[in-house]
Structure 1
Amino acid sequence: MADMDQELRPGGPPAAPDPAATAATAATADGGPGAGPPPSTGTPRTVGVVWGLLVLNTLGSAGAKTIVPLPRSLIQLVTMGALVAAFTLALVLNLRLRVRPSAYVLLLTLLLVPSLISSMQLESGLGALFRCARLALFVATLWLLTRWWDGGTTFVRHHIRMYFAVLGSVAAGALVSPGAAMPELYGGRLVGALWPLTPPQIGQYAAVIIGLTVLLVLGRRTDRTSAAVVIVPSVVLLALTHTRTATLGLLIGLVLAIGSLVLTSAAARRFFTWTVLVAVVAAVGFASALRTWFLRGQSQENLTSLTGRAKVWDALLAAPRSTGEELFGVGLGDKSFGGLPIDNSWLAVYHEQGWAGVTLVAAVFAVLGGVALLRPPSLSRACAIFLISYCAIASYTEAGLGDASPYLLHLAVAASLLAAPTPLTAAPGTPLATPLTTSVTRRRQRHVPRWARD
């Protein structure tokens, strides 16, 4: 299957594939949802296990009631054990501590400073120090994984597979006990009946893997059958969660990501055109049904106040704070104020890590967004733009940018997509293409017949 980078190559159709390379690709291809060309030879398959353990750690321990009651202490033991196992396994894979420079992980490391300064005041209790230790171990694991951040889609596939497995557990719970999966407590919205997951969590996971899989299809990195296996059930689960933030993030993120490919990819242009036509038809023919789904039975006043979130935000901003709390916050907590969830990443970071934390989180988006804009059009750039824009949109009504969370994992995948190949990630024995060697090769090829070069 043709590579996206070949499709974007100027000057005509892509060159014919090398039969030897095609055979090697077919021999090492790893199947499953979102499968495509295999990871580079320098990326062990065990890295996917590490990523899966990080995903398990960020699932959280609070949510809906499950079919089989799970003590919160047991869930916390499993999630924290997953993080310790992820760090240990990553350390075993990278015993020489070979890491590559990453502005994203560096900013997360700096975020530990205000977190630790504020948490040592113990205003949020001893749990704040525990959360600092968790964040430190989380960031250390990302540092160890940077060795394999090479600008490829390896971590995109890991991301899709892991969250598809999580959604599989949600679907299984809905089939086993529909009543527990869509309780009245959540207004009939889909929740996790086997593992305590809330509707916004499920909507987030579904939206992210839908967007990434669509981009892989446009980039010809997976076939349509494999993509349909991921997209169709994920769309159904997203619709059952009635999650507006995830839906808007998915749509806007895809528009921005596909828009970055429109000028260079015919497949992206066709998809964009058909999507616009379908959206117009749906808006005209199903306007009433879409409005009912979007309102979720809420009044206009409740929708305007963002389901009561605005009241919590106003109270948080009006609360008196000392200079130290303004600068460094009150310490890592459970992202709540006055016993109510904050549900805004920026206000949660301001509350727990102060203006120092807000500045560092803003720097994360500025750095990743700036690098993405400077990259030439490619599939990796489009996936990164989707993830960055989705996290930016979701940050308005969901918390998680200041602590170990799925949002930091989404942005970590974006950082891996924007990284450039290095000697640490290149295949053994493969020389790196530098400007000098590239120009010499091009000069030599001028004296070689075209049939020999092809």
Structure 2
Amino acid sequence: METERTPRIVGVIWGLLVLNTLGSAGAVTIVPLPRSLIQMVTMGSLVAAFTLALVINARLRVRPNAYVFLLTLLLVTSVISSAHLESGFGALFRCFRLTLFVGTLWLLSRWWDGSLTFVRHHIRMYFAVLGSVALGLAISPGAALPDLYGGRLVGALWPLTPPQIGQYAAVIIGLTALLLLGRRIDRTSAAVVIVPSLVLLALTHTRTATLGLLLGLVLAIGSLLMTSSAARRFFTWSVAIATVAAVGFAGALQAWFLRGQSKDNFSSLTGRAKVWDALLAAPRTTGEKWFGVGLGDKSFGGLPIDNSWLAVYNEQGLIGVGLVAAFIVVLGGVALLRPPSLQRACAIFLISYCAIASYTEAGLGDASPYLLHLALAVSLLAAPAEAPAPGTPAVPRPRVPRWAQRTEVR
């Protein structure tokens, strides 16, 4: 079956989306960067991504998919809730940003064909981000491991928080491990990605990312056990190593997991539970219950919400929560119905990771890395384009600029 060329510029567009979702708030960098400059860079990358996607897909050919359709409905809900300006004019700006983000995903959906192309783009871009973190650590260890964050690793060149770094490291570790398991990458290349990413993940002391990585890999590899002997061997060795580590290093693992916190602080999820209780107890009008107060900075009373479901409830109401639950359930259902494959395993890992992280991290209701991870899962679950039936007149392909073409055909 002949397949359409994937323009080389698609990888650049994906990288621009990654840059946009890095955010503008975080640690103090070695060279102070004005927040306005960072926002200009991140927003400019999104505008560039949408423009380039529009150039190479000028005929607006898209692949219908439930995920981006539900994101579009979530965008409509966000506009309705933000129009009241309870969250200020910033809410309308965030709606504009979400519009460009969703629009870019629609334009890129034309090339979602179930291949591993976007997985490789994903790993390369986030590995480059982690490279900047490692470089900052080498240049100024004090700035990269500040006391303000309890000695946890932060971005010293670009303002990244420990949870962000932990998330990026966990995702590319999981995807690279699955590519290695599926023999789509050699051991040396996999070690180059996995080993330094594991070190950075350990330095962040991020429990959510670590649990998401471990549980996501268990589910992903479990989906391959019936069809892959390599998956069975990998699973057996992993269980053995985990058992030895749990017995021999129980004290060290417990100390790393607690991060020096008291049991009371740990049981309240580092104070998150207090914010959640206050948010749920706050009085709301009927409109606020169903549509929320508009897109904001994912905080309540000046404190971060750190829960995707409550953040969506606060900003997009019960309708928003329903839409987010719908696309998580739809993606999970589609993944379970697909026959066992490496692509399905990668998708299961991404979906399960985002679902686990949603409990202590916000991001499922706005342009974020989590929505990008789920978009990657959609690209993996998409069925390849069918070849035309014999005797069907050939449909001319839209012309792609020469500068945007790849030299090889999948």
TM range (shorter): over 0.9
Q: Of residues 142, 155, 177 in structure 2, which corresponds to 1:192?
A: 155
Q: For 1:98 and 1:218, how far apart are their aligned partners in 2?
A: 34
Q: How many residues align?
A: 388
Q: For 1:163 and 1:83, how far apart are their aligned partners in 2?
A: 16
Q: Aligned runs of 1:49-198 on 2, under 5 Å? A: 49-198=12-161
TM-score by length of 2: 0.94
Name 1:412's counterpart in structure 2. Answer: 375
TM-score by length of 1: 0.85
Q: For 1:113 and 1:141, how far apart are their aligned partners in 2?
A: 16
Q: Of residues 277, 286, 289 in structure 2, which corresponds to 1:326?
A: 289
Name 2:241's counterpart in structure 1. Answer: 278
Q: For 1:340 and 1:433, how far apart are their aligned partners in 2?
A: 58
Q: Aligned runs of 1:348-367 on 2, under 5 Å? A: 348-367=311-330
Q: Of residues 370, 384, 394 in structure 2, which corresponds to 1:421?
A: 384
- Give 1:45 shift: 1.4
Flag structure 1 segments of 5+ consecutive residues without an equivalent.
1-39, 424-430, 435-454
Q: For 1:201 and 1:127, how far apart are their aligned partners in 2?
A: 23
Moved >6 Å (runs of 4+): none
2:229 matches 1:247? no
Q: For 1:199 and 1:235, how far apart are their aligned partners in 2?
A: 13
Q: For 1:70 and 1:433, how far apart are their aligned partners in 2?
A: 57
- Give 1:44 shift: 1.3
Q: Of residues 338, 348, 354 in structure 2, which corresponds to 1:385?
A: 348
Q: Is the partner of 2:320 in helix, strand or coil?
A: helix
Q: Is the partner of 1:330 in helix, strand or coil?
A: coil
Letter of the aligned partner of 1:352 in structure 2?
E
Q: Aligned runs of 1:256-295 on 2, under 5 Å? A: 256-295=219-258
Letter of the aligned partner of 1:370 in structure 2?
G
Structure with max Cα Rg:
1
Q: Of residues 196, 214, 225 in structure 1, which corresponds to 2:177?
A: 214
Letter of the aligned partner of 2:220 in structure 1?
A
Name 1:313's counterpart in structure 2. Answer: 276
Q: For 2:344 and 2:199, how far apart are their aligned partners in 1?
A: 28
Closer, same or farther: CA 328–151 of 1 in aligned 2, 3 Å: same
Closer, same or farther: CA 433–156 of 1 in aligned 2, 3 Å: farther
Taking only aligned residues, the RMSD between alpha carbons, in angstroms, comes to 1.0
What percentage of aligned pairs have identical amino acids? 83
- Give 1:41 shift: 5.5
Q: For 2:252 and 2:388, how far apart are their aligned partners in 1?
A: 55
Q: For 2:200 and 2:27, how far apart are their aligned partners in 1?
A: 16
CA offsets per residue over residues 19-69 of structure 1, 9 Å max, x none? xxxxxxxxxxxxxxxxxxxxx752111100000000000000000000000
Name 1:296's counterpart in structure 2. Answer: 259
CA offsets per residue over residues 178-215 of structure 1, 9 Å max, x none? 00000000000000000000000000000000000000
Q: For 1:246 and 1:340, how far apart are their aligned partners in 2?
A: 21
Q: Is the partner of 1:101 in helix, strand or coil?
A: coil
Q: For 1:112 and 1:203, how far apart are their aligned partners in 2?
A: 28
- Give 1:114 shift: 1.3
